[in-house]
Chain A
């Protein structure tokens, strides 16, 4: 003891005599005490022998030598009685420093078996009550406030092991343990187990989480490095709307599920061995998931998802209805085989509007924390009228269908091999080389080549209120890149289809096309005798735009010394529309198109 303790400035012992010469009170004060690891200062120990039962009051500031902050410790205890020499009852306890404020009371029922104070026969039972306790780390990421609760603890020697039981009743207070926040408490824990050779064995722990559900856990933990040797957890019935906010939302922060509302029930059975997941069994019953930003929703979701490291399992997922980016999804059943980190399914049908998306030969694998998958996709015809209305586009007629032999997803990039074919405006639009990056993210990116063939100009111009044109349209939009669904680059060329068919253009369409080219021709039409004609014949028409850095470089079907020909007349009455501006800002061109299709530039025939 001498070697370890150096009392720097001791001390002051006062023995206050009473009239009967018995000692009534002993006070010990020390300004500073040093120990190999621990320092203490302002130590005040007062033993009051006169109370109905003798009591002890201790106040001291303590710290470990390496630390900077002092911790204040206050405690007042009744001294043990001869009948129960190991019973301790302490009140007015306080542990306080910059990070912790823990008022407590401690009641030790007994420490030893009745046959002696042998440490090997320790048999302790104690309860600790904390009142309005709080703590916080420096960054405030692990903190609690106004905690009230009680911990009961018992430990006995059991052969070579220590058997323990504990119960925790968390009555009120709030806790933030990054990323989890638990409020309004009302949670309870009962646990028992054994401690042997540095391994904490939890035979059974039962958590009752208010509103969320009950959790049963057993397992083994190596204390030297907190390595979980084994864990088995069972949540038989979880209320998802409460559990989502308490447990899942913080964990799903970086996923598409980070801002949803969930209702329904789930159960989960989970087993881990040596820190690795061995198996789980997740089941969802009557779950509704809706994205707050309305990107997607699934209703009446049922799922049985077993998984095992060792054995292949079959999973099934179904939902009654849902929506994705405003498109309604119909009742769907999905079955798949899961083999460790890979998933396969021969086919899945997702009803969308009046058609369906058939996915087949699905194969997915999780490698190094990333998903990789490929599948074959076939879109059974869906009505464009419904589709365009749902996406707030001008109402289009026709049907869209697609056949993509191979869709792959790897490293965040979705790419297709094959073509998406849309039957629109009595012609076809074929999308090839389609790739997408983060379609649900902040800045989605899409690349594609689009070929338009034989679109009916009558249908097309009616749909976009452009002014009537009769004829057929071909177009190629190559090297298209959309960022956040807005074009940033393409080489586009639209022109009348080859072949013989009726080619008529109305005066209003002429005006509008001229307006796109930056005016000129429109005024000419209005001033000339041509204003007496409602419509004209044309031989061919075409307009191209090469978009780079927000500038559209324009051209027509032919070049002339002053500009380019957009509509080349033929027959009587015929008209030729010229474009003079070779470059136009993309924003300006969009504004012109909008003015035209909004009908604000209605032809004024004078």
Chain B
């Protein structure tokens, strides 16, 4: 019985530990670095929003964005689209790192990133493409 209980505790621990960590992390924490990154992402959002809506760019399950199908974008704009996606991903990686650092726990970055991933996907507008376990789906 004791063993069983210990097993349950262990199972519970492994299942919920990441969530507990996140419960403790302040995802809204603000530092000048975080607000600079958010500012840079906001400035880019106008450019990317049209691509989310057209399905050219989708939200990935790891909290990043990816070119999904650029065929609707004129050839001459595809380079800029790729640059915007690369710059957005660089900012997102920095954002997750800075939020973990601002919480005093740089090692929380992977959990913070996966929490943001589901947040972005929850907040995605209908018609946008998001990456599920089985691949791209349209919301």
Contacts and interface: CB of A to CB of B under 8 A. Distances in A.
A258 B70 contact: no
B75 interface: yes
29 contacts: A136-B71, A139-B67, A139-B68, A140-B56, A140-B71, A140-B73, A141-B67, A143-B70, A143-B78, A145-B75, A174-B76, A176-B76, A178-B79, A178-B82, A179-B82, A181-B75, A181-B78, A249-B79, A253-B82, A254-B86, A442-B94, A443-B33, A443-B98, A483-B31, A486-B32, A488-B31, A488-B32, A488-B33, A550-B30
Contacts of A485: 32
B69 A140 contact: yes
Given A138-B69, A140-B69, A253 B33 contact: no
Contacts of A180: 79
A250 interface: yes
B91 interface: yes
Given A139-B70, A143-B75, 16 more contacts: A138-B69, A139-B68, A139-B69, A140-B56, A141-B82, A144-B75, A176-B76, A178-B78, A178-B82, A181-B79, A183-B75, A183-B76, A443-B32, A443-B94, A483-B36, A484-B35
Say which size band chain B's interface belongs to: 20 to 34
Contacts of A483: 31-33, 36
A250 B94 CA distance: 22
A138 B71 CA distance: 8
A442 B37 contact: yes
Contacts of A179: 79, 82
B31 A250 contact: no
A253 B72 CA distance: 23
Nearest to A486: B32
B40 interface: yes
Contacts of B36: 442-443, 483-484
B70 A141 contact: yes
B97 to A, nearest CB: 10
A61 to B, nearest CB: 23
B37 A443 contact: yes
A495 interface: no
B92 to A, nearest CB: 11
Q: How large is the interface on A (under 10, 10 to 19, 20 to 34, 35 or more residues)?
A: 20 to 34
A485 B90 CA distance: 20
B76 A181 contact: yes
Contacts of B86: 253-254
Interface string A140-153: 11011100000000
Interface string A43-63: 000000000000000000000
Given A181-B76, A183-B76, A250-B79, A445 B33 contact: yes
Interface string B17-49: 000000000000011111111001000000000
A551 to B, nearest CB: 13
B59 to A, nearest CB: 16
B79 A176 contact: yes
A143 B67 CA distance: 14
Interface in A95-154: 136, 138-141, 143-145
A175 interface: yes
A61 B75 CA distance: 29
B35 A143 contact: no
Contacts of A249: 79
Contacts of B83: 253, 258
Interface of A: 136, 138-141, 143-145, 174-176, 178-181, 183, 249-250, 253-254, 258, 442-443, 445, 482-486, 488, 550
Nearest to A173: B75
Nearest to B91: A442
A143 B70 CA distance: 10
Nearest to A437: B33
A295 to B, nearest CB: 14
Contacts of A443: 32-34, 36-37, 94, 98
Contact of A176 (B30, B31, B33, B78): B78
Contact of A442 (B40, B67, B69, B72): B40
Contacts of A140: 56, 67, 69-73, 78
Nearest to B30: A550
Among B37, B71, B75, B79, find the residue whose CB has the most chain A CB atoms closer than 10 A.
B75
A541 B72 CA distance: 68
Contacts of B37: 442-443
Nearest to A178: B82
B35 to A, nearest CB: 7
Contacts of A445: 33
Contacts of A175: 75
Nearest to A550: B30
